[in-house]
Amino acid sequence: MAKLPGNVRVVWPESLVSSYNLAEIADAALVGTSSIGLELARFGVPVVSAFRSACPFPIGSFAAFSPTVHGYFEEVRAACDRTAAIGPITEAFRWSNYLYWSWCIDVGDVVPAQDYDGIPRWKMPDENQAIRDVLIDGKDLSALNMARLPADAAACEAERAAVTSEILRFIAFFMTGDASNGSQIQSLSAKPGGIVSINLRGKSLQRHSTLVRRLAVMFDRLGPADARVEVAEQR
């Protein structure tokens, strides 16, 4: 590892440095085969993939890509100046749901808790039909779950509200370490250089966070119907 360039650092598994700490101060995230590109896209971090087919998410709306060396570095330069947008963040959430949850069946009505290690009282699960469809009729569980998702205007509005609420939780977590404070943010102030101030239950907090500033600026552009908080971008 002594031959690494001076501007390259390797984060070993035993290191106390978190990839999310690095992502918080990053102008962009360059990924190869890691799923962290999908995770960071949910935070609004600009993502550029080195490969089209090796990463576990599609290239396009929330992850940039170019098949040529010149095009790749052009995408990297563009990503460093890219602002966060609700559309790509929402798309990243959708793909997260598809990749990680569309293959699952909820049996929470049978098993009372995630860490439950006993034998629950027998009952026919609410998802009995889906279980039969997959185990007996050989149907595709992911296709079944995706087909059951609503796609009307009310569902789109509920999705947008859920995503903006989750982004506020992100902001609260990076600012305070407690994601449950998201609904208690009253105002955001994004300053040049990555400095962000928030008013949380009447208490003012300030810290440096490129990631949070990017999200705060995005909220400023969403408008009062989405933001739910007062946002001021200081230039």
Looking at 101-152, list the stretches that DSSP marks H as alpha helix, in order from N- to C-terminal side. Answer: 128-135, 141-147
Give the pair of three-digit tokens for residue 79: 């990503």
Return the higher-pLDDT residue of 55 and 208. Answer: 208
99-147 pLDDT, tens digit each: 999 999 999 999 989 899 999 889 999 999 999 999 999 999 999 999 9
Q: Specify the pTM.
A: 0.84
Range 16-32 average pLDDT:
89
Res. 28: pLDDT tops 50: yes
Question: What is the predicted pLDDT for the residue at 149?
Answer: 92
Q: Which among 187, 176, 183 has a CA at the least distance from the CA of 162?
A: 183
Would you state the pLDDT for residue 225?
A: 45
Contact criterion met (CB below 8 Å) for 75 and 48: yes
Average pLDDT of span 177-196: 85
Q: What is the pLDDT of residue 43?
A: 95
